[in-house]
Amino acid sequence: MVATEPFKVVGTRPVRPDGVDKVTGRAAYGADVKMEGLLYARVKRSPYAHAIIKSIDVSKALALPGVKAVVTRADFRETGSGLVDVGEGPPLNLEWMVDNVCAGKKVLYKGHAVAAVAATDLHIAEDAMHLIEVEYEVLPPVMNVRDAMLESAPLLHDGQLTGAEKAEDQGKRPSNIASRVEFEKGDIAAGFAEADVIIEREYETACYHQGYIEPTNATALWNKDNDITVWTSTQGTFAVRTSTALILGHPVSRVKVVPMEIGGGFGGKISVYLEPLAAILSKKTGHPVKMWMTREEVLEATGPTPGGYMRAKIGAKRDGTFTAAQVYLAYEAGAFPGSAVGAGAMCAVGPYDIPNAFVEGFDVVVNRPKVSAYRAPGAPAAEFAVESVVDELADELGMDPMDLRMKNAAIEGTRRPDGATFGVIGNTAVMDAIKDHPHYKSELEGENRGRGVAMGFWFNAGMESSAYASVNADGTVALVTGAVDIGGTRAAHAMQIAETLGLPYDQIKPHVVDTDSIGYTGVTGGSRTAFAGGWAAHEAGMDIRRQMEERAAKIWEVDREQVHYEDGNILGPDDKRMTFNELASQLPHTGGMIQGHADVNPTTVGPAFAGHICDVEVDPETGKVQILRYTAVQDVGTAIHPSYVEGQIQGGAAQGIGMAISEEYFYDENGVMRNSSLLDYRMPTALDLPMIDTVLVEVPNPGHPYGVRGVGEVPIVPPLAAVANAIFHATGARMRKLPASPRTILDELLPPEA
């Protein structure tokens, strides 16, 4: 299915269509929404991590001049606890969705919303927020996954969760364990019996935030016709539409979501937090209501990644052949179920062909904000554990770490523990590229320096996407999609339809529109947007080609079968020929303009593999880790726009390095986050990192017209293990708890006090 002829547009590096607006400040983000009669709102949040709400008194806030309305949980409809499908991911418990937007009987994390107030001025709203009086009965919080799994742990949801660590104990007692997942392949007992060397280790990872620069925001207008319009910076307008409609009990057809430009998301701007609150305040006041979070609120009240506890056990023969693997994952879901432990379990041993494997995972609630997606959600922690054990096995067996990985590499036809079988993949091509790279072959000189490698896997996603493409009389094509542009997807979609039509890139004018103006389109995430959105753009282009052939046949008065479209030209019998532009100019007078339509739901996604090489220097006196050199190799299928692909890889690697050495949510014993600012929540900057070199391996996905696999998720997977393995080779200390902050490293390097 993949085109084999050389591409003319795909693979080039044109200027992005939204670039000038963004660098000149003309682009409108969520905080830029302005309209007549706009009110401003602030949210009252819990100071406690776990407490029963005894009472809420809003009378003093309502008495403040300028205050127009207050909303509490009493203003939301009774929902019950049924499961609902929001169109993104597994079904969700509707009651818990509402609870996360505005707390009901209990608050379950510090920062949990309990009320919101709208006023004519932001400062008045802020003052009024402090006048809302809430009486709490404080309960003990449970802050980490291992404590939460104990039978003695305080329960977040009394009687609602009935999980257990052992399958036979499921449903026998209330628990903070929300669910259990397991994948199995072969016979692990027999596999470990065959092994000459077995290594089993325990690991922990912290809770990490996506670190998007633009705070969460929403503006809503609930008009007198009972229609709701929401303006917001989101990765998924249709997900916001569905969630808002469900939470408010409103028909989805009467909710319109208008996407603003988005200042970063990385998976963290899919869930709704402010939209329903703004909508109810708008209904109460008859005015549009605008809200946005402070940075402290973003960190304390929106979804980060889960923290996790992992065990990995791998057995191998003396020649390096893996015989068995067993992986245990326990992930913090936050206050409500829904961590990506299932995805982590799917990815844990993805790069390897292991005949006997068992992976189990647990979704566990704790008194922290409900987690959200963050680039390859669940995979970085799982593969940190596995790749660390693989590195230790290479050391034990005296093998080159890449030789060991190549010996056990998953290939076409390999069956994963979750049951999926790989088609055409670039796993071994990535490994070969690492082995052949000058970075890997180079000598690393100097004291306290080390080199680490690690592989990563992400399965990628398809899902539904729509595209409309209208031909203009001047030969340009207006491309309309519903996919929010985060990393250059306007350009990627425009390039694919340009390739399909045989037109120059600058003849395509891409636009991202609201939910009333395009067919259903899935979230911008999961490494699906260039894949599925590009497929929709291609199909819309093919629809235009068919219509152009029909129109030319009518003009030439020949049979339709005698006309065909080729490389931007329409060809007919007797050397008849018209360029796309020539025919476009005749459309108004020969039957009207042409529009191509496509709605696709492709399932032929191409799994993605990446391998990273990391050199570090560790100061043994301070524990500081300096990244000296970093190379990221990745199979990208086909690089539609190589510059954007490289940027995605560099960004993912930088975020993964942050997870490895500096980023973490730091809570005290009362469940209060003590580093809820970007000064104290330490993300690496350009001053902390070297140039991240990228190597694009292109093994086209045969399940896409242009071979696209998707690139945004997998580059965040290898860095945790690559950095940890490099630290070991620099210091001799294995990092089994991340981030490898100076404190953690010194705990490993310095002898315990007598």
- Mean pLDDT across 216-234: 98
pTM for the full model?
0.96
pLDDT at 754: 43
Q: Is 625 in the same domain as 559?
A: no
Is 98 inside any structural domain? yes
Q: Report the C-alpha gap between 275 and 101 in whole angstroms.
A: 9
Q: Report the C-alpha gap between 742 and 749 in whole angstroms.
A: 10
Which domain range does residue 562 map to?
Answer: 19-27+462-600
Q: Is 343 in the same domain as 428?
A: yes
- Bridge partners, 727 (sequence order): none
Q: Report the C-alpha gap between 70 and 639 in whole angstroms.
A: 50
pLDDT at 171: 67
- Bridge partners, 361 (sequence order): 181, 329
Average of per-residue pLDDT values in the chain: 96
Q: Is 622 in the same domain as 655?
A: yes
- Mean pLDDT across 239-259: 97
Around Cβ 567, how many Cβ atoms within 10 Å?
A: 11
Nearest to 697 by CA among 434, 421, 410, 406: 434
Is 176 inside any structural domain? no
Which of the listed residues 568, 600, 632 is the one where a domain comes to its end? 600
pLDDT at 23: 93
Residues 6+ apart with CB under 8 A from 14: 491, 495, 505, 506, 641
Is 11 inside any structural domain? no
| Contact status, residue 727 vs residue 739, Cβ threshold 8 Å | no
Q: Is 503 in the same domain as 437?
A: no
pLDDT at 5: 61
- CA R_g for the chain: 27
User: Residue 542 maps to which CATH number?
Assistant: 3.30.365.10
- Bridge partners, 471 (sequence order): 477
- Mean pLDDT across 448-452: 98
| Contact status, residue 155 vs residue 140, Cβ threshold 8 Å | no
pLDDT in tens, 164-200: 666 666 667 889 999 999 999 999 999 999 999 999 9
Amino acid in position 706: Y
pLDDT at 425: 98
C-alpha distances (whole Å) from 616 to each of 522, 623, 641 are 40, 12, 31
Q: What percent of the chain has pLDDT over 90?
A: 94
Q: Is 491 in the same domain as 596?
A: yes
- At 83, the pLDDT band (50, 70, 90 cuts) reads confident
Q: Is 479 in the same domain as 571?
A: yes
pLDDT in tens, 9-44: 999 999 999 999 999 999 999 999 999 999 999 999
pLDDT in tens, 90-99: 788 899 999 9
pLDDT beyond 90 at 158: no
Is 485 inside any structural domain? yes
pLDDT in tens, 726-747: 999 999 999 999 999 999 999 9
Is 594 inside any structural domain? yes
Q: Is 275 in the same domain as 328?
A: no
pLDDT in tens, 370-409: 999 999 999 999 999 999 999 999 999 999 999 999 999 9
Provide the CA 343 distance to its chain's centre, in angstroms. Answer: 12
pLDDT at 91: 83
| Contact status, residue 569 vs residue 582, Cβ threshold 8 Å | no
Which of the listed residues 575, 600, 625 is the one where a domain comes to its end? 600
- Mean pLDDT across 128-144: 98
| Token pair in block for residue 257 | 């979501």
pLDDT at 160: 63
Is 7 inside any structural domain? no
Q: Is 366 in the same domain as 486?
A: no
Nearest to 460 by CA among 534, 530, 405, 520: 530
Burial of 524 (0-12, 13-18, 19+ CB in 10 A): buried
Q: Is 481 in the same domain as 619?
A: no
pLDDT at 2: 52
Q: Is 626 in the same domain as 710?
A: yes
pLDDT at 753: 66
pLDDT in tens, 474-530: 999 999 999 999 989 999 999 999 999 999 999 999 999 999 999 999 999 999 999
Q: Report the C-alpha gap between 179 and 360 in whole angstroms.
A: 11
| Token pair in block for residue 347 | 């990815």
pLDDT beyond 80 at 126: yes
Q: Report the C-alpha gap between 555 and 739 in whole angstroms.
A: 68
More confident residue, 125 or 171: 125
pLDDT at 164: 66
- At 1, the pLDDT band (50, 70, 90 cuts) reads very low
Q: Report the C-alpha gap between 375 and 658 in whole angstroms.
A: 13
Is 164 inside any structural domain? no
- At 666, the pLDDT band (50, 70, 90 cuts) reads very high
- Mean pLDDT across 592-609: 97
Q: Is 455 in the same domain as 313?
A: yes
Q: Report the C-alpha gap between 83 and 561 in whole angstroms.
A: 51
User: Residue 103 maps to which CATH number?
Assistant: 3.90.1170.50
pLDDT at 752: 74
pLDDT at 169: 67
Q: Is 86 in the same domain as 41?
A: yes
| Token pair in block for residue 219 | 């503006």
pLDDT beyond 80 at 81: no
Structurally, the chain folds into a number of domains equal to 3
Order of strands, edge to edge, in the sheet holding 177-185? 177-185, 357-365, 322-334, 308-316, 197-205, 737-738
Is 689 inside any structural domain? yes
